[in-house]
A and B are shown apart, each in its own frame.
Chain A
């Protein structure tokens, strides 16, 4: 029986969608500005839509193939028959969020620029509320999808009758005969968890494709437009400038939205799955453990909406006032979520230990965000140090930037370690391991509970950036461009902290997924034991059974699957560093982070090369392009970036899906655990390094452009441009994509757990 408090979940999800619609409608009603502004915005919108249409066509084909594979596996009895459908819905909603967020952003840019012509505060309000559309559709669709799935599975599929007699359809078993009440929630949450694979797959394509698109356009626009032709950023004479603006939308809006949609849903689903599998709880307590993460997220939505309304400032606001206003919104929501969770703890919905885990998660997120700001902002020594090295030349800029990126990993790594240990410990993990990992899952849920507003501040960045581009291309007065510059600068700060938040939540989610993977292994061991004639499944010296106790020989141990602990599985599968298969998995996981980064960087290089050729061709062949009398062919540059992104994203993305499958089939569960551990630790560290190096290089260049160390066109500036160009694929393609890589590998492993348990070479 679902508790009545559960209804807050779909209701707050619907409320999020309602407010998203209101914000969208209000934004659409605003003045679009001059004809030139409308024209530029239309170019960007058409380019973005053309890209997304092509992207979804390609991804749709990949999804179709994967659905067929998953269906075949379901018929072979090593895959849950719900998975293909859950996979599709996850991918669909993730894609829908990216589409809606990007559509809103492309409508908002010129309106933000026009609002900024009235005042800085008006520009802020339009950009933030347009960003909130993205934030709210992500949390709204994420939670409504979870709520609908949970309701359908709990009320219509796993009915007492189906649980007793089984549910079979078209030769597939949807509910196993004799499913107990305790198994019901475990089964439901395990099924729901697999919808995360759809979201992850879509997110990876969005991130990698968007990242390649945006950087190909950016590098092309910079190398030919800025360096060769000497025209400034966002100059309408540059044929790649529209593609560059389109890239901000497809990479930073659609990509980021899909990424965090996946983290958001993944953290809730993994925590619910861990809650369902908590030992020695049943009935209401088990139900509470499952829906508690959903309820916390639902409350987070309400507080996020409140947070959006908290962001307001005076008409004569300075950039510092704006930052404080944004911090009030995000910080206020986070503080209120703690109060709400404390209320839940006091009413017994969750333990005070879990409350402590949430505090640990939120604190870790804030610390990682602040450390990102410290290492990448030109207000602090690390970035200023890179700028100073620029006086020596580009080589020392690269050395210093790499060093700063590597150095910057210590704070997030130690923070995440402290966060994991604290979340585990607060929840009681040192005496009850399962409760500890449930706490880790809750830490991720807590960190992402106010995603509605944190994502709004993330999406604010590219909207403000595009507004600046629109103002520049439309040659709006000086005051307007100064205001859009101020909004853009604010967006850079929120984007930096947002990236820290994204990678921190990805690490916690991936860890929760790793624990959930073991629950999936438990589930499949039970099914295989039931199907086996001897009614048990032998792993090493352990005989796992779910119904009748098998006879054991010397040295063997029989363990009932319901009461089996993670340590039992660890012993059975020899999950130790001395198992060469596990160690091999760790190496492969570590390698994956580098291989994937390399592929995405090389993809940017190739796509950018084609863009450079095209921009050079247009400068050469279009008469009057430099005087502004000849019109550049913007659409051709958008087309080149689109084609390049679609072509180049396939191999790295498919690799991320294929490797966990292959490792599972070859090395079995220990190999997969090693792969996930290696991928998570290396991916997390490498992502921090790439994001922070890239951000620091970018801001070192901006620091010099403001007149420091010789200013624009000085030798130091030229060296810093080299650093910025190197850093572009670091921070906008490979780094952010690693977030998804580590989660997608976990998700694929979870979904493929059945085949891994059933078939493996070693």
Chain B
């Protein structure tokens, strides 16, 4: 059986498994014998590009089929500061699972920085290595660069994040309709966005310090971003209509 390597975002870990992505996603979400549920987000990692980082001999000894012939579900290779040491080009597809085990594969997409909009507000959920929800006046590539290039006192080596829908709040934080937005404490979100709009020099405002652990996939605006400085990989998230045609089970589950 082949061995797959995955980078999970929560916990931030490098995991080996004999399960292909669909099986691994199901395993992470629902467990096997015990009752378990919870969504998960993980990358498939190109083993060939990280061989120099891991103990291959140890991996081959630990990641073996069980006595009954069933595949080994998970062997944890590393936790903490994993994203920062992995080369970006080792990341393959990104996988999202629902808490009942349906899985969606997102492939790398091209991203046109020249089309980024600067006169609107953005909402980002950072996923790894830190997890605040941040409102910003900066479009994704600029936001990523600002947090990773050392121009601010707080610097991250790499960042994995997703942009979320703001609807009318993106242009009118105080009066825009927020009726269909599921975020808790909308009043606070409006305040954060209004502060960003009012203060020219302020580009980011923390909306929520800790990630609840549940990313509502319906609220994803464009997709997922991972990288540092000027280097960024983009995983485009399909529109709901595309999703319905592409992966009906996933669409129904979210």
Residue numbers of A with Cβ under 8 A of B are 228-232, 235, 388, 478, 481, 616, 619-620, 623-624, 626-627, 707-717
| Residue contact A710 to B182, C-beta cutoff 8 Å | yes
Cα separation A627 to B100 with both chains bound (whole Å): 10
Residues of A within 8 A of B182 (CB): 709-711, 713-717
| Residue contact A709 to B179, C-beta cutoff 8 Å | yes
Residues of B within 8 A of A717 (CB): 182
13 contacts between A and B (CB under 8 A): A229-B37, A616-B35, A623-B32, A627-B101, A709-B180, A711-B216, A712-B216, A712-B254, A713-B214, A713-B216, A714-B182, A716-B182, A717-B182
Cα separation A339 to B72 with both chains bound (whole Å): 75
| Residue contact B218 to A626, C-beta cutoff 8 Å | no
| Residue contact A229 to B100, C-beta cutoff 8 Å | yes
| Residue contact A235 to B32, C-beta cutoff 8 Å | no
Given contacts A232-B253, A714-B216, contact A623 B184 (CB under 8 A): no
Residue numbers of B with Cβ under 8 A of A are 26, 30-38, 98-101, 179-184, 214, 216, 218, 240, 244, 248, 252-254
User: What is the CB-to-nearest-CB distance from A631 to chain B, in angstroms, rounded to a whole number?
Assistant: 15
Residues of A within 8 A of B180 (CB): 707-711
User: What is the CB-to-nearest-CB distance from B66 to chain A, in angstroms, rounded to a whole number?
Assistant: 13
Residues of B within 8 A of A478 (CB): 244, 248
Residues of B within 8 A of A715 (CB): 182, 184
| Residue contact A626 to B248, C-beta cutoff 8 Å | no
Residues of B within 8 A of A716 (CB): 182
Residues of B within 8 A of A230 (CB): 30, 37-38, 98-100
Cα separation A626 to B36 with both chains bound (whole Å): 9
User: What is the CB-to-nearest-CB distance from A390 to chain B, in angstroms, rounded to a whole number?
Assistant: 11
Cα separation A717 to B218 with both chains bound (whole Å): 13
| Residue contact B254 to A710, C-beta cutoff 8 Å | no
Cα separation A227 to B55 with both chains bound (whole Å): 41
| Residue contact A620 to B32, C-beta cutoff 8 Å | no
Cα separation A708 to B214 with both chains bound (whole Å): 18
User: What is the CB-to-nearest-CB distance from A333 to chain B, in angstroms, rounded to a whole number?
Assistant: 37
Cα separation A232 to B98 with both chains bound (whole Å): 11
Cα separation A716 to B98 with both chains bound (whole Å): 19
Which residue on B lies nearest to A618, using beta carbons?
Answer: B35
Residues of B within 8 A of A714 (CB): 182, 216
| Residue contact B179 to A626, C-beta cutoff 8 Å | no
| Residue contact A620 to B100, C-beta cutoff 8 Å | no
| Residue contact B179 to A232, C-beta cutoff 8 Å | no
Given contacts A710-B182, A711-B182, A711-B216, contact A624 B35 (CB under 8 A): no
Contact partner of B35 (CB less than 8 A), chosen from A232, A620, A707, A713, is A620
Cα separation A343 to B100 with both chains bound (whole Å): 62
Residues of A within 8 A of B244 (CB): 478
Which residue on B lies nearest to A711, using beta carbons?
Answer: B218
Given A626-B32, A711-B218, 9 more A-B residue pairs with CB atoms under 8 Å apart are A229-B30, A481-B248, A626-B31, A626-B35, A626-B101, A627-B101, A710-B183, A713-B216, A714-B182
Which residue on B lies nearest to A630, using beta carbons?
Answer: B33
Secondary structure of the B contact surface, majority rule: loop
Residues of B within 8 A of A231 (CB): 100
Which residue on B lies nearest to A229, using beta carbons?
Answer: B37
Cα separation A360 to B252 with both chains bound (whole Å): 45
- Which of A228, A229, A388, A710 neighbours the largest number of chain B CB atoms within 10 Å of its CB? A710
User: What is the CB-to-nearest-CB distance from A117 to chain B, in angstroms, rounded to a whole number?
Assistant: 15
Given contacts A626-B30, A627-B30, contact A710 B35 (CB under 8 A): no
Residues of B within 8 A of A229 (CB): 30, 35, 37, 100
Residues of B within 8 A of A708 (CB): 179-180
Which residue on B lies nearest to A624, using beta carbons?
Answer: B32
Cα separation A709 to B244 with both chains bound (whole Å): 20
Given contacts A708-B180, A713-B216, contact A232 B32 (CB under 8 A): no
Cα separation A712 to B214 with both chains bound (whole Å): 12
User: What is the CB-to-nearest-CB distance from B112 to chain A, in angstroms, rounded to a whole number?
Assistant: 28
Cα separation A228 to B100 with both chains bound (whole Å): 10
| Residue contact B252 to A627, C-beta cutoff 8 Å | no
Residues of A within 8 A of B240 (CB): 707
User: What is the CB-to-nearest-CB distance from A697 to chain B, in angstroms, rounded to a whole number?
Assistant: 19
- Which of B182, B216, B218, B254 neighbours the largest number of chain A CB atoms within 10 Å of its CB? B182
Cα separation A337 to B184 with both chains bound (whole Å): 55
Residues of B within 8 A of A623 (CB): 32-33
| Residue contact A228 to B248, C-beta cutoff 8 Å | no
User: What is the CB-to-nearest-CB distance from A387 to chain B, in angstroms, rounded to a whole number?
Assistant: 10
Which residue on A lies nearest to B98, using beta carbons?
Answer: A230
Contact partner of A228 (CB less than 8 A), chosen from B33, B34, B35, is B35
Contact partner of B100 (CB less than 8 A), chosen from A232, A481, A624, is A232
- Which of A232, A714, A716 neighbours the largest number of chain B CB atoms within 10 Å of its CB? A714
User: What is the CB-to-nearest-CB distance from B97 to chain A, in angstroms, rounded to a whole number?
Assistant: 11
Closest 6 CB pairs of A and B: A710-B182, A714-B182, A230-B99, A230-B37, A626-B30, A478-B248
Residues of A within 8 A of B183 (CB): 710
Cα separation A229 to B30 with both chains bound (whole Å): 8
Residues of B within 8 A of A627 (CB): 26, 30, 32, 101
Residues of A within 8 A of B218 (CB): 707, 711-712
Cα separation A624 to B36 with both chains bound (whole Å): 12
Which residue on A lies nearest to B248, using beta carbons?
Answer: A478
Cα separation A717 to B219 with both chains bound (whole Å): 14
Residues of A within 8 A of B253 (CB): 232
User: What is the CB-to-nearest-CB distance from B37 to chain A, in angstroms, rounded to a whole number?
Assistant: 4
Which residue on B lies nearest to A226, using beta carbons?
Answer: B100
Which residue on B lies nearest to A621, using beta carbons?
Answer: B33
Cα separation A616 to B32 with both chains bound (whole Å): 15
Residues of B within 8 A of A228 (CB): 35, 37
Cα separation A303 to B252 with both chains bound (whole Å): 41
Cα separation A348 to B100 with both chains bound (whole Å): 67
- Which of A478, A619, A713 neighbours the largest number of chain B CB atoms within 10 Å of its CB? A713
Cα separation A714 to B254 with both chains bound (whole Å): 11
Residues of A within 8 A of B100 (CB): 229-232, 235
Cα separation A157 to B184 with both chains bound (whole Å): 75
User: What is the CB-to-nearest-CB distance from B28 to chain A, in angstroms, rounded to a whole number?
Assistant: 12
Cα separation A626 to B252 with both chains bound (whole Å): 18
Residues of B within 8 A of A620 (CB): 34-35
Residues of A within 8 A of B248 (CB): 478, 481
- Which of A478, A708, A716 neighbours the largest number of chain B CB atoms within 10 Å of its CB? A478
Residues of B within 8 A of A481 (CB): 248
Residues of A within 8 A of B34 (CB): 620
Cα separation A22 to B169 with both chains bound (whole Å): 60
User: What is the CB-to-nearest-CB distance from A628 to chain B, in angstroms, rounded to a whole number?
Assistant: 9
Cα separation A623 to B180 with both chains bound (whole Å): 40
Residues of B within 8 A of A624 (CB): 32-33
Residues of B within 8 A of A235 (CB): 100
Cα separation A230 to B218 with both chains bound (whole Å): 17
Cα separation A717 to B30 with both chains bound (whole Å): 22
Which residue on B lies nearest to A717, using beta carbons?
Answer: B182
Cα separation A13 to B62 with both chains bound (whole Å): 76
- Which of A230, A231, A627, A711 neighbours the largest number of chain B CB atoms within 10 Å of its CB? A230
Which residue on A lies nearest to B214, using beta carbons?
Answer: A713
Cα separation A235 to B99 with both chains bound (whole Å): 14
User: What is the CB-to-nearest-CB distance from A375 to chain B, in angstroms, rounded to a whole number?
Assistant: 22
Which residue on B lies nearest to A479, using beta carbons?
Answer: B248
Cα separation A712 to B33 with both chains bound (whole Å): 27
Cα separation A714 to B253 with both chains bound (whole Å): 13
Cα separation A627 to B37 with both chains bound (whole Å): 12
Cα separation A478 to B241 with both chains bound (whole Å): 13
Cα separation A182 to B101 with both chains bound (whole Å): 75
Cα separation A148 to B81 with both chains bound (whole Å): 85
Cα separation A710 to B179 with both chains bound (whole Å): 7
User: What is the CB-to-nearest-CB distance from B176 to chain A, in angstroms, rounded to a whole number?
Assistant: 15
User: What is the CB-to-nearest-CB distance from B32 to chain A, in angstroms, rounded to a whole number?
Assistant: 7
Cα separation A101 to B34 with both chains bound (whole Å): 41
Which residue on B lies nearest to A477, using beta carbons?
Answer: B248
Residues of B within 8 A of A388 (CB): 179
Residues of A within 8 A of B184 (CB): 715
| Residue contact A619 to B35, C-beta cutoff 8 Å | yes
Cα separation A713 to B32 with both chains bound (whole Å): 24
User: What is the CB-to-nearest-CB distance from B194 to chain A, in angstroms, rounded to a whole number?
Assistant: 20
